[in-house]
Chain A
Amino acid sequence: MKPKTISIALGALALAATAAVAASPARRAILDGYAAKAGAPPSVARGKAFFLGTHSGGKPDISSCTSCHTRDPHKAGRTRAGKSIEPMAVSVTPSRFTDAAKVEKWFGRNCKTVLGRACTAAEKADFIAFMAGQ
């Protein structure tokens, strides 16, 4: 294969992947915004590790996203007050990550709770990229 063909094929692959990751224009814009701010393309694998991982610096009893969201993004989570949280997976809850203000509000709150600090733009982009493919 000629280098040009390879680059076209790679470009097509990247496009397809991006389309799968962010089918909604609003979500796409939010994801692109964080990725641009991060200065690097989002990583689904990093997003997954971030979601499933145990973090330090925040509240010890809520040290992971999974503390409330469960380890399966396709399943409903539960708040400490007992209320159900809609699944994070975009395939189950298509409205996820389509409202920029709402996304910022919840990253703002939950990153402080779980990590004790604000999340970086890269972490946000990775997280959305992972959930968009779920």
Chain B
Amino acid sequence: MRIPRLPFPVWPLGAALAVAGTVFAVGVFTGAGANAEDGEGMGLRPVTDKTVQAECGACHMAFPPGLLPARSWRAIMGKLDDHFGENAALDDETAKRITDYLVANAADSGNGNRRVLRGVRTNDTPLRITELPWWVREHSREVRPGAFKDPRVKSKANCGACHRGAAGGYFEDD
């Protein structure tokens, strides 16, 4: 069987695609670079602990611990029976294990990205990631009002609805 030959050489197409790809890649890269200076787009270490993944990730994504300071994690874990209006109660042993992990990897632990704490007073204990000045700034500039009410998004806690790499810790602009 003979493979029919295309009536035109193929390489220019490949070359054109390659060039387009490069231009696109450079565009995205510079975009990300420029944005990074404004504090946009962020990579954070995702949760690696199995218990934390399973328990925190049951109702929402297991948020990277680097998104809040240790004092915030302690406060949140200290009242799980009223977790932003939900009952998220856990047995003491599991709660302690999760708290230890979150505290050890918190934004102010030395492992974290301190950018998320900009504008947060040291005597303030933020409980919602979405109320951090950094988060508000990032999401007020580019996200159209009402996007969080879209049924596909439903909640500001649903990072993955827009940040497709969220589960892996990539919160770049999507």
Q: Is the interface of B mostly helix, strand, loop or mixed?
A: loop
> Is there contact, CB below 8 Å, between A80 and B86?
yes
> Is there contact, CB below 8 Å, between A108 and B89?
yes
- Using a Cβ cutoff of 8 Å, how many contacts connect chains A and B? 40
- Cα-based distance from A110 to B87 in the complex (angstroms): 7
- Cα-based distance from A39 to B19 in the complex (angstroms): 75
> Is there contact, CB below 8 Å, between A105 and B90?
yes
Interface digits, B77-116 against A, CB 8 Å rule (1 contact, 0 not)?
Answer: 0000100011111100000000000000000000000000
- Cα-based distance from A108 to B61 in the complex (angstroms): 22
Chain A: residues with Cβ within 8 Å of the partner, total of: 13
How near does chain B come to A7, taking the closest CB pair, in angstroms?
45
CB < 8 Å: which of B89, B155, B158 contacts A109?
A: B89
Closest to B154 in A: A82
> Is there contact, CB below 8 Å, between A113 and B155?
no
Closest to B150 in A: A82
A78: interface (CB < 8 Å):
yes
How near does chain B come to A109, taking the closest CB pair, in angstroms?
4
A112: interface (CB < 8 Å):
yes
Size bracket of the B interface? 10 to 19
B28: interface (CB < 8 Å):
no
> Is there contact, CB below 8 Å, between B90 and A113?
no
- Cα-based distance from A94 to B78 in the complex (angstroms): 34
Interface residues of A in 86-121 (CB under 8 A from B): 105, 108-110, 112-113
> Is there contact, CB below 8 Å, between A83 and B158?
yes
Contacts of B36 in A (CB 8 A): none
Contacts of A108 in B (CB 8 A): 87, 89
Contacts of B155 in A (CB 8 A): 80-82
CB < 8 Å: which of B59, B81, B85, B88 contacts A83?
A: B59
- Cα-based distance from A21 to B139 in the complex (angstroms): 48
- Cα-based distance from A82 to B151 in the complex (angstroms): 9
> Is there contact, CB below 8 Å, between A79 and B87?
no
> Is there contact, CB below 8 Å, between B154 and A113?
no
Contacts of B90 in A (CB 8 A): 105
Q: Can you spell out 23 A-B residue pairs with CB atoms less than 8 angstroms apart?
A: A79-B60, A80-B59, A80-B86, A80-B154, A80-B155, A81-B59, A81-B155, A81-B158, A82-B153, A82-B155, A82-B158, A82-B161, A83-B58, A83-B59, A108-B87, A108-B89, A109-B86, A109-B88, A109-B89, A110-B87, A112-B81, A112-B87, A113-B87
Q: Which 6 A-B pairs have the closest CB atoms?
A: A82-B158, A81-B60, A82-B154, A81-B157, A109-B87, A79-B59
